Amino acid sequence: MIKEILILIFSWFISIFLMLKYIPKESKRTAQITFLFVSTITWIYEYIQLITGLVEFPFREFNVATKMSFSLYYLVYPTFGVFFIILYPIEKEKRRFCIHYFVFVMAISTYSFFVEKYSSLIYYKKWNWFASFFSNLFILYIVKKFVYWFKKGLV
């Protein structure tokens, strides 16, 4: 239990620090809409995983209120999504896009894998790293499409 609390505190601290320190002022609007949209998408994603019995969250912050993990899907993964959009390559070179997607999907999937392996924050019942990889790829694609569509209205 102490290990899980330390992981969550460390994840909260790193996520908040990175967002406050490394998001430029001109990108704050984009970061805010990205954060909110990724929170929404990951909530739906997490809920579907729970009701289909793919994952379980043995240690939860609000264990009486919900069976979902609050910190992972409302702060950590949205932080990954914010930096995915903020650092998205502007050039039209396809190799850069592929590398960008690959790096972020690997980072999210690897973080999830280590959290699942070394703590009781996540338990994969019928889920694995490869399923996580492809679902995160799909989620980041949806996030990118939404944020760029939304940014057209901000101009």
Q: Per-residue pLDDT tens for 52-88?
A: 999 999 988 888 888 888 898 889 999 999 999 999 9
Amino acid letter, 79: T
Number of domains in the chain: 1
104 belongs to a structural domain: yes
Environment class of 122 (CB within 10 Å of its CB; exposed 0-12, middle 13-18, buried 19+): buried
What would the 3-class secondary structure string for 115-129 be? Answer: HHHHCCCCEECCCCH
78 belongs to a structural domain: yes
- pLDDT top residue among 142 and 129: 142
Instruction: Tell me the pLDDT tens digit for each residue of 124-137.
Output: 998 888 888 999 99
Q: How far is CA 43 from CA 21, 48, 88, 147, 152, in A?
A: 26, 9, 23, 17, 25
107 belongs to a structural domain: yes
Instruction: Tell me the pLDDT tens digit for each residue of 1-37.
Output: 789 999 999 999 999 999 999 999 999 999 999 999 9
CA 123 from centre of chain: 17
Sign of CA dihedral 58, 13, 141, 110: negative
105 belongs to a structural domain: yes
Environment class of 57 (CB within 10 Å of its CB; exposed 0-12, middle 13-18, buried 19+): buried
- pLDDT top residue among 142 and 67: 142
pLDDT band at 40 (very low <50, low <70, confident <90, very high): very high
18 belongs to a structural domain: no
20 belongs to a structural domain: no
141 belongs to a structural domain: yes
The per-residue DSSP string of 7-43 comes to HHHHHHHHHHHHHHHHS-GGGHHHHHHHHHHHHHHHH
13 belongs to a structural domain: no
- pLDDT exceeds cutoff 70 at 154: no
Q: Which domain holds residue 144?
A: 2-6+27-154
- pLDDT top residue among 69 and 138: 138
